[in-house]
Structure 1
Amino acid sequence: MLNENITLKKLHIFLTFMKCRTMNKTAEMLNMSTVSIHRAIHSLETELQCPLFQQQGRLLSPLDSAKTLEIEAKILLKQLGRTISETQETAGIFSAHFKLGSIYSLTFNSIPALITSMKKQDKKLEIELTTSSNKYLFKKLTALELDVIVVSLDAPLLDPSLIFFPLFEDHLALAVPVNDPLASYSSIALADIKNCPFVMLSKGFATAQDVLRTFEKAQIKPNVVMEVNDIFSLISMVSTGLGYSLLPNRIARILNDKVKLIPLHEQDKIKQTITMVCLASRSKEPKILAFTKQCHLYAKSLRDAK
């Protein structure tokens, strides 16, 4: 029958005493008073209803009962530690498997750089990347199906259950075919193309939401001729001349030679903040701390490069 008065703390004190063999050394190692050490050992004897030590001068000499308790307590604490580790690993905590979520537009540069840095720090770490929309990624994060997500936010979210770390800021630009007359513009106002056909990402994507906000700010209703579910299809549609689109500057380096990005006039620009997000309750987990550190270093490298 379990005795709730025989606690793990008392067993820990007992095992430390068995190792040190004196009250003073045990108290020093545990940063406790000798009175507290003596009280814990005496309490164990009371709850076990048997003596563990006999007095020999000023020292306590362990009886066979104490030696038996020492062996069994070590086994118990070791098994408890294993149980905790296996439970945490099953839940994805402290495992060698890292589940990262990202929006599509970050997989061309930022995410590969962060993954490479993580792998350099821990070659045994297995990283699983999920790419999707902001909405889907937040859902997976709160369901504990992702450890960390990197998304685009137009404004800080006031949610104490989440921790946010901004990496860098970006803006949308007009994507046009390279042989289009607008390709020669150094910048453009949305008002100048308000009646032109546009290809859009489906709702739920961060960029799609920011495109709509950009048009709303300019008080323009876009002439949407097609919606697509990924940025690659969108680039392809623009290159064929089906319509223009608004895309983040961060994808400029992966555009084919058939599409060009034209900056918007200052009054039409809307800021995107690329942000790492994790659950506040999991922020101290080693692999999440390691990824947060890499995000800090990556953000610093971008600032230093300016």
Structure 2
Amino acid sequence: MEIDEELTLKKIQIFLAFMRCGNLSKAAVEMQISNVSVHKALHSLENALRCPLFKNEGRNLIPLKSAYVFEENSKKIVQDIVTTVNKTREAAGFAAKIFHLGSLYSLTVTTLPSIISGVKLRRGELDIQLLLSSNIDLIKKLKETELDAIIVALNETTSGQEFEHLPMFEDEIFLAVHKDSKYVGYDEIDLSQLKDETFLTLAKGFATRSDSDIVFEKANIDPKVFLQVSDIFTLISMVNSGVGFALLPGRISSIYESSVKLIRLKREYQIKQEIGLVFLKSKERDPNLLALIAECRMFTRNV
């Protein structure tokens, strides 16, 4: 059977409001339309269904048996549509019960715990799943909508026109040395003097690795790299073991602070790393994302 084009969801909602309220005026108030609009919608439904729903008794519309049958089944239709819309929005990542957040290992020290706990206070029912990886990998997963948002280093990898950015704070890159290193007493160091030393680095794709490469180039160093690792905690642990030196962001200073020292680089080798929230413009109205944005702004004000 072909459905008449006059049979619309809006008219069904007006009909259900009338059945709940029992008269035109109350239904009009509920739907925020005029009495005439309610009457027209009900009459149009009868034309679309090709059967009467009401009888007239004076100025009142009295529901027929057909109206009660239509009411019962229309409630199911409206509920099914609401469910369909919610499931569709969840599939697209809008107001889903699970929020997929990506970030850098180094941000788990202080930044992420504060932000995630704040989001949980705002949206207690939300299950936040955290993925830690490199800048490049997280950007790729964000583009493919495997992640809802990422908190990463803002650089050339995050410059796509499809992204929105919320800068949060800047961090400085330091030289990390073991407490027994001959350089431990330095407050500032000329990196060019370390061209014969052994270094440890993160793998390519990590923001700190990219920044380290820039610093090495500034210092005209082709570093002797003993080992590349895939997370910053392993890197710090290796420095702590006295295996070699590394260039690391200041935010990790609390890790092994009794055995690893961060030394500021001379001005000509200094580099800043900007950390921020990145998300797709197409999701900027998602309630879960709005809660995360609010917490990131709160964090930024308190840095």
Structure 2 match to 1:25? 26
Structure 2 match to 1:259? 260
1:10-54 CA deviation, whole Å, 9 max, x = no partner?
Answer: 111211222334434333332323443333222211111112223
**Which stretch shows the higher mean deviation, 204-213 or 292-301?**
292-301
- What SS does the corresponding residue of 1:55 show, helix, strand or coil? strand
Equivalent position amino acid for 2:213 in 1:
L
Structure 1 match to 2:107? 106
Structure 2 match to 1:147? 148
Q: Is the 8 A contact 2:54 2:67 kept in 1?
A: yes
Structure 1 match to 2:301? 300
CA apart distance, 1:157: 4.0
- What SS does the corresponding residue of 2:184 show, helix, strand or coil? helix
- What SS does the corresponding residue of 2:183 show, helix, strand or coil? helix
Structure 2 match to 1:270? 271
Structure 1 match to 2:45? 44
> What is the aligned-residue RMSD (CA, Å)?
2.4
Equivalent position amino acid for 2:10 in 1:
K
Structure 1 match to 2:133? 132
1:109–1:78: structure 2 CA closer, same or farther, 3 Å change rule?
A: same
Q: Is the 8 A contact 2:154 2:276 kept in 1?
A: yes
1:224-259 CA deviation, whole Å, 9 max, x = no partner?
Answer: 333222222222332344332110000001135321
**Which stretch shows the higher mean deviation, 186-195 or 155-164?**
155-164
1:189–1:5: structure 2 CA closer, same or farther, 3 Å change rule?
A: farther
**Which stretch shows the higher mean deviation, 181-190 or 115-124?**
115-124
- 1:174 pairs with 2:170: no
For 1:36 and 1:157, locate their aligned partners in 2 and report how far apart those are by CA, in whole Å. 51
1:124-145 CA deviation, whole Å, 9 max, x = no partner?
Answer: 4333221111111122222222
Structure 1: gaps of 5 or more residues? none
CA apart distance, 1:204: 0.7
For 1:95 and 1:287, locate their aligned partners in 2 and report how far apart those are by CA, in whole Å. 8
Structure 2: gaps of 5 or more residues? none
For 2:36 and 2:222, locate their aligned partners in 1 and report how far apart those are by CA, in whole Å. 78
CA apart distance, 1:155: 5.8
1:74–1:135: structure 2 CA closer, same or farther, 3 Å change rule?
A: same
For 2:151 and 2:216, locate their aligned partners in 1 and report how far apart those are by CA, in whole Å. 25
- What SS does the corresponding residue of 2:244 show, helix, strand or coil? coil
Structure 2 match to 1:198? 199
For 1:242 and 1:262, locate their aligned partners in 2 and report how far apart those are by CA, in whole Å. 17
- 1:55 pairs with 2:82: no
- What SS does the corresponding residue of 1:5 show, helix, strand or coil? coil
CA apart distance, 1:90: 5.3
Q: Is the 8 A contact 1:154 1:210 kept in 2?
A: no
For 2:16 and 2:2, locate their aligned partners in 1 and report how far apart those are by CA, in whole Å. 20
- 1:73 pairs with 2:64: no
- What SS does the corresponding residue of 2:189 show, helix, strand or coil? coil
Q: Is the 8 A contact 2:136 2:157 kept in 1?
A: no
1:123–1:47: structure 2 CA closer, same or farther, 3 Å change rule?
A: closer
For 2:17 and 2:218, locate their aligned partners in 1 and report how far apart those are by CA, in whole Å. 68
- What SS does the corresponding residue of 2:253 show, helix, strand or coil? helix
TM-score, with normalisation over the residues of structure 1? 0.88
Identity over aligned residues, as a percent? 42
Structure 2 match to 1:226? 227
For 1:271 and 1:39, locate their aligned partners in 2 and report how far apart those are by CA, in whole Å. 66
For 2:115 and 2:27, locate their aligned partners in 1 and report how far apart those are by CA, in whole Å. 46
Q: Is the 8 A contact 1:154 1:271 kept in 2?
A: no
